[in-house]
């Protein structure tokens, strides 16, 4: 989705960027800490390595997630939220609170 589309719905844009089955969980875990790929795989039951790679690349391409590669053997890669991604923290926390309330009702 292009940032320059003046007629785009802001809510639809946000949901396109962070919606879907896996992105919310990825962002949830990145809100609290820098994570490595295998750590995210363990934290998110059911996600395949291929899907995690795809979702992380998409979030990275949109400037929400930063991928840091360390020049060592074996390779070490860490994922964190960018400055833009950190602006999603209150949104993710509110979604968490809403979900908790929903599950209690």
- 24-67 tens-digit pLDDT: 999 999 999 999 999 999 999 999 999 999 999 999 999 999 99
Q: What is the pLDDT of residue 2?
A: 52
From CA 31, how far away is CA 28, in angstroms rounded?
5
Q: Would you tell me which CATH number, out of the four given (1.50.10.10, 3.40.50.1700, 2.30.42.10, 1.10.10.10), belongs to the domain 10-104?
A: 1.10.10.10
pTM as predicted: 0.88
- What percent of the chain stands above pLDDT 70? 94
Please return the burial class of 27, using the count of CB atoms within 10 Å of its CB with bins 0-12, 13-18 and 19+: buried
Instruction: Give, to the nearest 10 degrees, the angle between helix 23-32 and helix 10-18.
Output: 80
């Amino acid at each position: 989705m292009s940032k320059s589309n003046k007629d785009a719905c802001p809510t639809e844009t946000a949901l396109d960027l962070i919606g879907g089955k896996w992105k919310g969980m990825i962002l949830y875990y990145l809100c609290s800490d820098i994570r490595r790929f295998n750590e995210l795989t363990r934290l998110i039951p059911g996600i395949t390595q291929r899907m995690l790679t795809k979702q992380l690349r998409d979030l990275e391409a949109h400037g929400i997630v930063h991928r840091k590669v360390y020049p060592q053997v074996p390779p070490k890669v860490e994922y964190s939220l960018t400055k833009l991604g950190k602006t999603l923290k209150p949104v993710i926390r509110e979604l968490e609170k809403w979900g908790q309330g929903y599950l209690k009702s």
